[in-house]
A and B are shown apart, each in its own frame.
Chain A
Amino acid sequence: MWRFLARPLLAIPCAFGLLTAPARADIVYVLNSGEASISVIDARERVELRRMPVLREVHHAVLTPDGSTLVIGDSGGNELIFLDPATGEIRRRERVSNPYHLEYSPDGQYLVVASLRRDQIDIYDAGTLQLAARFRQSDKPSHVAFSPDSRMVYVTLQGTGEVAAVDLTKRETVWTVPVGPEPAGIIWHRGRLLIGLMGSDGFVSLNPQTREVTPAFQTARGAHTLFPSPDGRYLYATARVESGVWQVDANTLEVVRRFDIAGGPDCIAFDPDGRLWMTLRWLGRVAILNPADGSMDTIRVGRSPHGIFVMPRREGMRADFAAIMPGSVSGSRPLPSPLAARSGEPAAGHPPPIVAGAPTLAPGPVVTPARFFRRSPARLEDAN
């Protein structure tokens, strides 16, 4: 009941344009692709503070290379929204053709935009947003990931079951290889590309040197995308037909645990405590999963929530807090090595603990079903 009371009360100051969450509470931004809005959530109270209207259809968000600005792609509205993640203030908007998935190169020189509906990949100069090159792709370019040296960008092509490699130096598509049915999410991980196959029950590994494709790990039908945890220990992979999240050992690529989560989990963001904030696409909710004990909470947001971003508001912690942590060498924008700790930040390689007193996880597949209703501690069961 207190949440129902808290929501309107918290909304009052926000109505005056001030994003005044309780002191030091992290802020979470959720992109509601089905109703042209961005939900702003108080991460501590777990209430939605407000919904910011956008033009048409927001899908993904990335931080600028300096970590100061959240860039949100409104694909239907043909614009990029540049937002101050600390205050929620929109700094500016830029007209850009159909930005569906987007990512900056690790060296911060380029912004690459995938246009799912227009079969094209656009390369922009990150500073000026001048279009540097446009590559027509065969069918439904979906997600992009860079190599750590910023030379290559890899694109999943959902319609043809391929991955295309674009050389940013030569400004050309240098190769395309079949990887399996309906590839979606893609990340760089320790010299390889890991790709989720929506038309399959697992992820594949693509060696960009030899272009050899091998099975990486198995999840369940409708494998979708994956995200490295900031501490670098795990990868978290989602699947949609058998809806859930899989915790995968980042070293061995063995599945450690499975969390059954209904509602179509899609994008994942991590808060500084190691909790997973994920959008439940079909259910119109955001789930907060604590992987240490399997407990889960959900918050109602808008229709078809897709991209998500957690803005920490803690002493000495920046929006790109994960950039100094070991997991930053994997992902769609993999750094060659974690950034050095900046003033006031904890040293690289010594991230905050995931959860104080969290039990050490034993390796091996363990199923952890978690329902999608509020505060439902999950049961631990054997996978088989």
Chain B
Amino acid sequence: MWDWLSDKYDLLATWIFETAIQPVLYQFGLMDWAEDAFTWLDFFLFGLVQVAVVYAVCRPLEAWRPVERGQDRRAIRTDVAYTLLTRLGVLPLLGFILFFAADTWLSGALADSGWIPPTLEEFFPILRDIPWLAMLVYIVVLDFFEYWRHRFQHTFRWWWALHSIHHAQKHMTFWTDDRNHVLDDVLQAAWLGAIAVLIGVPPGQFPVILTVLRVAETLSHANTRIHFGWLGERLVVSPRFHRLHHGVLGAGATGKNYAVLLPVWDWIFGTANFERNRFPETGDPEAPQAYVSGGWLRQQWEGFRQVARALVGRGETGALPPGPHQGALPPGPPAGP
């Protein structure tokens, strides 16, 4: 079954590449980018699959047990645009083009220094022979770093000025996951790039790792009244767990529940909230209006303005420590059964 699926996928990817992409590369004298373009096509097709899968999983859940009914469709459309731009590889492609030269320079400089970047498998040789175990370890390690990146987004004023776009959505759905400023995406790419230098990221497994993290992240944003029970809430991030992070409690540095996949990090670092009956309203009351109701372009422009202001100490998106909502949980809609 898996071979059959892989075969069909490869036939489709090959057909698209050979009929639509490669001739264009040739026409514009870009054939030395052919292998990178093929990788990007993989990213694009994988993105389509991801969007289809999360839609098939999340949309029925949102229809079944919504936290909010009658959400603003226009606000959600903006989030759909974010998702398509991100998952279909448009923004990652832009980042790749912008950072390729820097990456080559850095790689060359590292080689010249005599330092050869290590891999996790070098420290734990057993991982060489058990790829699925290596993949699990990489998921845990990457999730740990993602937890801290997320905390830093809420800690530094200038970073919060960007990340506040993500929190400004008052009508959170599974589409909200990718609602991020492009600078924030660039910082994430740099963050993952640094990790790749430190421990390596296996390219063959990376799409799978990315898909696991992405599906978990997307599900956690779904507008659905679901929790995973006492134990489950402590094992995997649920829609309930992450909605609490998107409540006003999550704004700025006073937030809770930063984990992407594994709540254990919040548990360890004292930021967990496991109240299973809390499904608060979402949004950042202090976010600029453009963040709340603007379209993609307006939000991006406002993001640049806000981060510049934050850097010179005049930021508006300032729910930073001590924040105005520190400590108190606002009342949410009634808890489900």
Contact of A284 with B by CB under 8 A = yes
- Given the known inter-chain contacts A97-B111, A140-B32, A264-B14, please indicate yes or no for A55 contacting B200, CB distance below 8 A: yes
Q: Judge whether B108 and A136 touch: CB under 8 Å.
A: yes
- Given the known inter-chain contacts A36-B204, A53-B131, A77-B119, please indicate yes or no for A199 contacting B29, CB distance below 8 A: yes
Q: Which of chain B's residues has its CB closest to A158's CB?
A: B32
| B14 surroundings in chain A (CB, below 8 A) | 262-264, 282-283
| B3 surroundings in chain A (CB, below 8 A) | 300
Q: Judge whether B26 and A120 touch: CB under 8 Å.
A: no
Contact of A314 with B by CB under 8 A = no
- Given the known inter-chain contacts A77-B119, A241-B26, A282-B38, please indicate yes or no for A56 contacting B31, CB distance below 8 A: no
Of A34, A95, A221, A300, the residue contacting B26 (CB under 8 A) is A221
1/0 per residue B304-315: CB within 8 Å of A? 000000000000
Of A56, A198, A199, A243, the residue contacting B119 (CB under 8 A) is A56
Interface 9-residue window, one of A111-119, A246-254, A340-348: A111-119
Complex Cα distance A36/B131, Å? 10
| A283 surroundings in chain B (CB, below 8 A) | 10-11, 14
Q: Among the interface residues B38, B116, B204, which one has the most CB atoms of the partner chain A within 10 A?
A: B204
Q: Judge whether A119 and B29 touch: CB under 8 Å.
A: no
Contact of A368 with B by CB under 8 A = no
| B204 surroundings in chain A (CB, below 8 A) | 32, 34-37, 56, 302-303
**Chain A residues bordering chain B, tally (CB within 8 A):** 49
Complex Cα distance A182/B10, Å? 26
| B134 surroundings in chain A (CB, below 8 A) | 53
Complex Cα distance A55/B118, Å? 11
Query: A57 → chain B, closest Cβ, in Å?
Result: 6
Contact of A181 with B by CB under 8 A = yes
Complex Cα distance A119/B121, Å? 26
Q: Judge whether B38 and A36 touch: CB under 8 Å.
A: no
Complex Cα distance A99/B39, Å? 20
Complex Cα distance A56/B39, Å? 15
Contact of A365 with B by CB under 8 A = no
Contact of B55 with A by CB under 8 A = no
| A222 surroundings in chain B (CB, below 8 A) | 22, 26, 31, 34
Q: Which of chain A's residues has its CB closest to B10's CB?
A: A284
Contact of A349 with B by CB under 8 A = no
1/0 per residue B120-152: CB within 8 Å of A? 010000001101001000000000000000000
1/0 per residue A197-209: CB within 8 Å of B? 0110000000000
Chain A interface helix/strand/loop/mixed: loop
- Given the known inter-chain contacts A222-B31, A283-B11, A300-B6, please indicate yes or no for A78 contacting B117, CB distance below 8 A: yes
Complex Cα distance A119/B29, Å? 20
Complex Cα distance A35/B205, Å? 7
Q: Judge whether A118 and B38 touch: CB under 8 Å.
A: no
Contact of B40 with A by CB under 8 A = no
Q: Judge whether B34 and A34 touch: CB under 8 Å.
A: no
Contact of B7 with A by CB under 8 A = yes
Of B34, B103, B200, the residue contacting A198 (CB under 8 A) is B34
Complex Cα distance A19/B116, Å? 32
Contact of B18 with A by CB under 8 A = yes
Complex Cα distance A301/B128, Å? 20
Q: Judge whether A98 and B32 touch: CB under 8 Å.
A: no
Complex Cα distance A78/B32, Å? 22
| A330 surroundings in chain B (CB, below 8 A) | none
Interface size class of B (residues with CB under 8 A): 35 or more
Complex Cα distance A142/B31, Å? 13
Q: Judge whether B31 and A118 touch: CB under 8 Å.
A: no
Q: Judge whether B202 and A55 touch: CB under 8 Å.
A: yes
Q: Which of chain A's residues has its CB closest to B200's CB?
A: A56
Query: B101 → chain A, closest Cβ, in Å?
Result: 10
1/0 per residue A277-291: CB within 8 Å of B? 000011111000000
Which chain B residues in 10-29 approach chain A with CB under 8 Å? 10-11, 13-14, 17-18, 22-23, 26, 29
- Given the known inter-chain contacts A199-B26, A284-B6, please indicate yes or no for A118 contacting B202, CB distance below 8 A: no
| B18 surroundings in chain A (CB, below 8 A) | 241, 243, 262-264, 282
Contact of B334 with A by CB under 8 A = no
Query: B231 → chain A, closest Cβ, in Å?
Result: 33
Contact of B203 with A by CB under 8 A = yes
- Given the known inter-chain contacts A53-B131, A55-B128, A240-B22, please indicate yes or no for A77 contacting B200, CB distance below 8 A: yes
| B39 surroundings in chain A (CB, below 8 A) | 34
Query: B229 → chain A, closest Cβ, in Å?
Result: 36
Contact of A76 with B by CB under 8 A = yes
Q: Judge whether B116 and A78 touch: CB under 8 Å.
A: yes
| B202 surroundings in chain A (CB, below 8 A) | 36, 55-56
Complex Cα distance A147/B6, Å? 42
| B112 surroundings in chain A (CB, below 8 A) | 134
Q: Which of chain B's residues has its CB closest to A241's CB?
A: B26
Q: Judge whether A98 and B107 touch: CB under 8 Å.
A: yes
| A232 surroundings in chain B (CB, below 8 A) | none
Complex Cα distance A181/B31, Å? 9
Q: Judge whether A34 and B29 touch: CB under 8 Å.
A: no
| A117 surroundings in chain B (CB, below 8 A) | 103-104, 107
Contact of A159 with B by CB under 8 A = yes
Q: Judge whether B22 and A241 touch: CB under 8 Å.
A: yes
Q: Judge whether A98 and B200 touch: CB under 8 Å.
A: no
| B129 surroundings in chain A (CB, below 8 A) | 53
| A105 surroundings in chain B (CB, below 8 A) | none
| B121 surroundings in chain A (CB, below 8 A) | 55
Q: Judge whether B104 and A118 touch: CB under 8 Å.
A: yes
Query: A375 → chain B, closest Cβ, in Å?
Result: 16
Of B23, B131, B203, the residue contacting A76 (CB under 8 A) is B203
Complex Cα distance A181/B3, Å? 38
Q: Which of chain A's residues has its CB closest to B39's CB?
A: A34
Complex Cα distance A118/B32, Å? 15
Complex Cα distance A95/B114, Å? 11
Q: Judge whether B111 and A118 touch: CB under 8 Å.
A: yes
Complex Cα distance A263/B13, Å? 10
B interface residues, Cβ below 8 angstroms from A? 3, 6-7, 10-11, 13-14, 17-18, 22-23, 26, 29, 31-32, 34-35, 38-39, 42, 103-104, 107-108, 111-112, 116-117, 119, 121, 128-129, 131, 134, 200, 202-205
9 contacts between A and B (CB under 8 A): A34-B42, A34-B203, A77-B200, A134-B111, A181-B29, A198-B34, A241-B22, A243-B18, A262-B14
Q: A56-B200, A182-B31, A198-B26 are in contact. List 12 more A-B contacts (CB 8 A).
A: A34-B204, A53-B134, A56-B203, A78-B116, A95-B116, A136-B108, A140-B32, A198-B32, A262-B14, A283-B11, A285-B10, A304-B38
